Amino acid sequence: MSVFNQSRSNIIRLIFAGMFLIIAAQLFHLQIISKKYKQQAQENALFRKSIYPSRGIIYDRKGRAILNNTILYDLMVTPAQVKNIDTAYLCQLVGIDTAEFRSRVLDAKAKNGPFRPTIFEDLLPPEMYARLEENIWRFPGFNLQERPIRVYPYNAAAHIMGYVGEVDSAILRRSNNYYQLGDYVGRSGLEQYYERQLMGQRGIEFWLKDNKNRLVRKYGNKDLDTPAIAGKNLHTYMDIELQQLAERLLAGKTGAIVALEPSTGGILAMASGPNYDPNSLTGPDKQTNYAHLALDVAGPMLNRAIKGQYPAGSTYKPIGALIGLDEGVITPASGISCLGNYYGCNRPVKCDEHWAGHAANLRLAIANSCNSFFCNTFRLTIDNPEYHSVRKGLTRWKEYVNAFGLGHRLGVDLPSEDGGNIPDTTAYDKDYNRSWNSCTMVTMGIGQDKMNVTPLQMANAMCIVANKGYYYTPHFVKDIEGAAEEDTVLNRYHIKHEPVTHISNDVFEVVHSGMQDVIEAGTGRSARIPGITMCGKTGTAENKRVVDRRVLKLRNHSWFVCFAPRVNPKIAVAVVVENGGYGATWAAPIGSFIVEKYLNDTLRNERLADVNRIAGQNLMPKFLVRVQFLTDSTRAADWTRQTGDSSRVLKYLDRANRAFLLDTSEGSKNPLMQNIRKMPGYKPLLPRTAPAAPASGQRPDSSRRTSLAKDTQAVRRKTDTGVPRHPAPPISQPTDQKGDSTQP
């Protein structure tokens, strides 16, 4: 019995030991052999937190920051911790009602769960932040979190600086997943072009998180972490005061101004009108503002200096003269007798000067901008007997013009530059079935026909003329702070291009003299600056546009190009004012202000009145109102068709509203409008006050543009600091109320 029992007790011992051995084997498997669990534990508990470096600052030539960083605050909520708070008071501080409060907390819970902080209200305005910061202790579960944003201290150079926005899927794909969802990248302008330099290097910190994904504390002692490296600062050639002046002068106009430094190709100023407030795309209301800007048919986000394609008009003439001289088809002494028309071809080409002898020689022809002379020169150039054929002549001419930087992209350090258009034989073969001659395209000699150039190209061409044959690719950035990679990015801007140096200096001198005469005695007298020898050329370019399926011949574009001083030029400028009329009327004075401001660092007192007059002038094309109406009403109709909700389209159907929306408010003859304007409570849709005194940093154009379409007016009304989330009550409009009453 005892032996039997002894064996039984041993069996029990064996069972015990056996089970423990099985467990030990499983532990060995889990803890020693399998690596899977260690990795899963890391995934469970470690969080790679990206540390965002501050983006680089952009400075102007005098070291003033034109694009800087600042910190705004987001109000964050952790729903699970919100208990017993004075909801009404918080709502009052944030400016929402309790229903909105509740829905936002629920949204936060749905988005990130109850234990993680979620944005409750982003980018608080400074005064709201101040009030919240004092009282935040009253609201457990709420906290304020820093958020760095971009700020434009001078409120200028919106098109050049660009803006940052969240990455989209295309950028994510292109960057090989370097960016993550929610990252901010430069979406236009220098912000986009120099993204790599400006963004710096993201750092990584390892944090421990708990089972509810809350970050608990930092992991390890920093040896795993990668520190964030701040973005590199950019120093540009820009003169921000010049830029501000340029933008002021373009207020209420469509057009562009480009000012270059001929000796380096540095861009001193580049303005495009209409403009927008760059700070409106950083603050709390950036989404709405962006939508308004994008829907405006005037294209305030379009940088016309590099994307606007205009017929060059008479500003092409100095280049035409240089080509003719170099080809030997004319000499400085060549002349033509012109009495107001060029009769060389079947259709006469008009010339603005009628008096005999205004084109007696090249210098006079340039000074008086004789169309006949340059039509003739162009025909002589492409009919050059040396080439035996007009096709070869045109090809040769195109090579010349291309050498002057026209008709192809220059490679400025901004994204999406346009190349303009210099036609070649194929374009005419297509249009004229291969039967064409020099008369077919004779107006190309005066910068019309199929020739299209951008303002930047014209300014660059002026640099070539001023430099007598060479240029540097126009660019903004002089150097990148602390960059070893300078040699790769900026190298191409340090290459001297010498496309037309075979043209002799004497030939250039003749053209310079003609251009100097333009300013001193010719068409550009309005641009004369005492004490500065300036060479320039005005231009008046015909243009057409299709509106309502009809080709409208619009007012001429007003052009002016110049460089100064004549010897050792410091600045080359190109100005175009769309539909402004004669070059001498608008573009020439604008160009001369720019030159004077840059060379003398200030404007003479007697010119300030002129500056104000020009800045206050509204030259927005009238057809924009019509186009805006068409676009908006079509979109509203589309919306109605898609959703069956007619509320948006009703205001376009109402007759009174139609009249109002289409009214340019400048002497409308519509009897209804006249009656409305007489009503006692009537206020114009947009305030039309005279521009404020030219205080620097102010953008007088922000409230001055004409487009009346309601959909775009919010942006305009917005001021710099603004209380965007809480817009001022809408300006009372009698027709608006009428429109409302028609709604069901």
Partner 1 sequence: MNQRNPTISKGVDWSLVWIWFILCAIGVTSIFAASYHEGENVIQGFISLKTDYSRQLLFFVIAGIIGTFILLTDSKFFTATANLGYAFGIFLLLLVFPFHSRVKGTESIIRFGSAFQLQPADLCKLFVNLALAKYLSRVETNFTRPRSQLIAAAIALTPAMLSIMQKETGLSLVYFSFFLVMFREGLPPSVLVIGFSFAVLVVATLLLEPNTLAIILTAIALLAIYILRRQIKRSRSILFLIVGIWFVCVGVQRFVVPFAFDHVFKPYQVKRIYDAIGKDYVPKDRATEAALESEQKGKKKDNNYNVKQSKIAIGSGGLIGKGLLKGTQTRYDFVPEQKTDFIFCTIGEGFGFVGSIIFLGIYILLLMRIVSVAERQRSVFSRCYAYGVASVLFFHIVINVCMTVGLAPVIGIPLPFISYGGTSLLTFSVMLFILVRLDADRQMVLR
- Residue 356 sits in the site that holds partner 1 (CB under 8 A): no
- Residue 220 sits in the site that holds partner 1 (CB under 8 A): no
Q: Which of 36, 502, 549, 553 binds partner 1 (CB under 8 A)?
A: 36
Nearer to partner 1, 22 or 333 (CB): 22
User: Which residues have C-beta within 8 Å of that of residue 95, sequence separation ≥ 6?
Assistant: 128, 725, 726
Q: Which of 84, 176, 177, 211 binds partner 1 (CB under 8 A)?
A: 211
| Contact mark string toward partner 1, 307..336, x via CB under 8 A | ------------------------------
d(CA 122, CA 146): 10
Helix (H) or strand (E) run with residue 12 in it = helix 2-28
Q: Which of 30, 110, 339, 731 binds partner 1 (CB under 8 A)?
A: 30
CB distance 492 to 500 below 8 Å: no
d(CA 683, CA 734): 9
Structure tokens at 400: 């010349």
Instruction: Locate the DSSP E strands across 336-411.
Output: 341-342, 349-350
Q: How far is the CB of 9 from partner 1 (least distance, A)?
A: 5
Instruction: Tell me 314's DSSP state.
Output: G
- Residue 48 sits in the site that holds partner 1 (CB under 8 A): no
What does the chain come to in residues? Answer: 744
Q: How far is the CB of 27 from partner 1 (least distance, A)?
A: 5
Q: How far is the CB of 83 from partner 1 (least distance, A)?
A: 20
d(CA 522, CA 365): 10
Stretch that binds partner 1, among 30-38, 158-166, 534-542, 548-556 (CB under 8 A): 30-38
- Residue 31 sits in the site that holds partner 1 (CB under 8 A): yes
d(CA 359, CA 365): 4
Among 712, 714, 689, 710, CA closest to 701: 689
Nearer to partner 1, 207 or 387 (CB): 207
Q: How far is the CB of 210 from partner 1 (least distance, A)?
A: 3
Q: How far is the CB of 208 from partner 1 (least distance, A)?
A: 6
CB distance 148 to 123 below 8 Å: no
- Residue 178 sits in the site that holds partner 1 (CB under 8 A): no
Among 93, 207, 83, CA closest to 144: 93
Q: Which of 41, 339, 608, 692 binds partner 1 (CB under 8 A)?
A: 41
Nearer to partner 1, 40 or 98 (CB): 40
Residue 675, helix vs strand vs coil: helix
Q: Which of 38, 492, 545, 622 binds partner 1 (CB under 8 A)?
A: 38
Q: For residue 206, list its beta bridge partners.
A: 48
- Residue 19 sits in the site that holds partner 1 (CB under 8 A): yes
Q: How far is the CB of 49 from partner 1 (least distance, A)?
A: 15
Nearer to partner 1, 138 or 212 (CB): 212
Nearer to partner 1, 208 or 295 (CB): 208
Stretch that binds partner 1, among 29-37, 318-326, 379-387, 506-514 (CB under 8 A): 29-37
Q: At residue 446, what are phi and psi to the nearest 5 degrees?
A: -115, 30
d(CA 301, CA 158): 8
Stretch that binds partner 1, among 26-34, 52-60, 136-144, 504-512 (CB under 8 A): 26-34
- Residue 44 sits in the site that holds partner 1 (CB under 8 A): yes
Stretch that binds partner 1, among 41-49, 310-318, 689-697, 712-720 (CB under 8 A): 41-49
- Residue 14 sits in the site that holds partner 1 (CB under 8 A): no
- Residue 435 sits in the site that holds partner 1 (CB under 8 A): no
Stretch that binds partner 1, among 40-48, 71-79, 158-166, 735-743 (CB under 8 A): 40-48
Among 637, 567, 639, 570, CA closest to 601: 570
Q: Rounded to a whole number, what is the distance in angstroms from the first to the last CA of the chain?
A: 103
d(CA 560, CA 410): 20
Q: How far is the CB of 14 from partner 1 (least distance, A)?
A: 11
Instruction: Tell me 60's DSSP state.
Output: -
d(CA 58, CA 60): 7
Structure tokens at 620: 């927005």
Structure tokens at 117: 């902080």
User: What angle is formed at CA 464 by the lines to CA 461 and CA 466, rounded to 5 degrees?
Assistant: 110
Q: How far is the CB of 206 from partner 1 (least distance, A)?
A: 11
- Residue 15 sits in the site that holds partner 1 (CB under 8 A): yes
Q: How many chain residues are in contact with partner 1, going by CB under 8 A? A: 38
Q: Hey, what amino acid is at 512? A: H
**Chain residues that interact with partner 1, rule: CB under 8 A:** 5-6, 8-9, 11-13, 15-17, 19-20, 22-24, 26-28, 30-32, 34, 36-38, 40-42, 44-46, 208-212, 216-217
